[in-house]
Amino acid sequence: MVFEMDVVLDAPLAADCLSEAAYWLYFASPNIARFYIDPVERRRVHVWSLAEDEESEMDRKVRMTLARFAQSTNVIDAVPRRVGIESSGEDVRGADPAGAADAGLVRRLGLADTEIGELMTALARGFDDEFRRLGTSMGACEREYSTLLPIEFFEKCHYFDAFPQNIMYPTMMQTDVDAAEKFSDYTVNHRGRPPRDYSGFQERTHVLAPAACFHVYMANEEKTLEGNTLVTTRGTCYRYEGRNASTLERLWDFQMREIVYLGSRQFVRDCRDETQERVLRLVEQWGLSGVVEAGHDPFFLRGERPECELDPDAKFELRLDLPYRDADSACASFNISGTFFGSTSNIMLSDGGTAWTGCTAFGLERWAWAAVMQHGTNPARWPHGLRAVLEGAR
């Protein structure tokens, strides 16, 4: 049975934070079945709850979750919010999730398990090739990194302060034969089902990387850069999305290409601006449509942090349209983290100053998903530029 209740907030939510507020609400309580945020007054949240006797607790949890989205005073709120990208296509007939599934492009296997078909896989690979070439044409060297990162590095970065709900840990068995035998015996006696609450695992020492850029910063810890530095890397990233997981828009594990820049303040700003300008030209070339918005979730702007310089225009997002649900999806971000990572990782410049850093990031599956949702499942009907991306990957 589902029970309904209203939560009336003390202050209205910031108009440009409604989508992010909705995202975080599903992390407020496992008993939230669904919810509705009044988009006009932005103070009333109607909640459908799975627990009748939790009304006061649900009210508290919803308020606590949404408190940081009340009429934000974030330093980047003053940045103009939207820049339109006009679609170059005419009479475009896009797709929806059911059509993509029928065409064999994607298949949902479970909450966190997705099979991505050949066409979508090739298209994501084609986008990655384009973004890798963008980075190398600017002078970026290519690097590959492992998936795991030590907890100590994330402690220094204060990542746990901001996004604890998204963190995913690997779990390893203790290096003890008795612990292994106990686990194995239980599994054998339960027809292959392992114990769910087994205590014989090691203490958590690593996290699964939530973004590709962290490896670059850790690789440059305690270093003095010889000069301005550009690195491009691709990796599998992990973020627990809970019930926010949806087709290829949000996956628990996904492919990310990043162009990471380390050096002087001007160099980092120039790299961020150049990558953004060039990506927007590619979007037009490929016949895609969307908007660029100032982002509100650069985690290094929240909570306790070391003394560092920050840029007032810290983050922009490119959100590509998803016509089937009259919405959009963040497919790229253009970020300046100031001297935050330079300070936490002690990355220095040759002149003795602290390095500035920034990155441009691409969620590859999201690009492929948005392209198909805008232009359909038949590549023959795609704009020429988008077909070229696919053909280049085959």
List, for residues 4-54, the tens digit of each pLDDT value.
999 999 989 988 788 888 888 888 898 888 899 998 889 999 999 888 767
> Which of 37, 40, 43, 44 lies closest to 20 in space, CA to CA?
37
What average pLDDT does range 356-372 have in this prediction?
Answer: 97
* Residue 362 in tokens: 């691409």
pTM of the predicted protein model: 0.86
Return all residues near 63 (Cβ < 8 A) that are at least 6 apart: 7, 9, 10
Tell me the C-alpha distance between 51 and 4, whole Å. 10
| pLDDT, mean over the chain | 88
Give pLDDT, residue 80. Answer: 42
Tell me the C-alpha distance between 382 and 312, whole Å. 38
* Residue 322 in tokens: 């998803």
Burial bucket for residue 284 (CB in 10 Å: 0-12, 13-18, 19+): middle
Give pLDDT, residue 89. Answer: 44
What average pLDDT does range 184-190 have in this prediction?
Answer: 93
> Which of 161, 247, 174, 234 lies closest to 205 in space, CA to CA?
174
Percent helix, strand, coil in the chain, to 5, is: 40, 25, 35
Return all residues near 292 (Cβ < 8 A) that are at least 6 apart: 82, 83, 85, 276, 280, 316, 317, 318, 319
> Which of 63, 60, 64, 73 lies closest to 14 in space, CA to CA?
73
Q: How remote is the C-alpha of 210 from its chain's centroid?
A: 8
| pLDDT over threshold 50, residue 77 | no
In the chain, the amino acid numbered 313 is D
Strand arrangement, sheet containing 44-49: 3-8, 44-49, 32-37
SS (H, E, C) 211-242: CCHHHHHHHCCCCECCCCEEEEEEEEEECCCH
pLDDT digit string, tens, across residues 235-256: 999 999 887 777 888 899 999 9
Strand 141-143 and strand 83-85: the pairing is unpaired
Give me the percent of the chain exceeding a pLDDT of 90: 60
* Residue 27 in tokens: 């992390």
Return all residues near 277 (Cβ < 8 A) that are at least 6 apart: none
Pinpoint the alpha helices (H) of the chain.
18-25, 55-66, 97-102, 118-137, 151-157, 159-162, 177-189, 213-219, 265-285, 340-345, 364-375, 384-393
Number of H helices, E strands in the chain: 12, 15
Query: For the chain, how many residues are written?
Result: 394
pLDDT digit string, tens, across residues 146-156: 999 999 998 88
pLDDT digit string, tens, across residues 268-287: 999 999 999 999 999 999 99
Report the range of poorest mean pLDDT among 86-95, 208-217, 347-356. Answer: 86-95
